[in-house]
Amino acid sequence: MDSVAKRELSLYNGATAIELTEANWDAETAGKSVLLKFFAPWCGHCKKLKPDWDKLMEEFNGSPGSLVGDVDCTAGGQSMCEKHGVKGYPTLKYGEPGDLKDYQAAGTSTA
- The set of catalytic residues is 43-46
d(CA 56, CA 22): 23
Between the alpha carbon of residue 19 and those of residues 58, 80, 105, the distances in Å are 13, 12, 23
d(CA 111, CA 106): 15
70 closest CA partner among 87, 83, 53, 85: 53
Contact (CB, 8 A) for 32 and 26: no
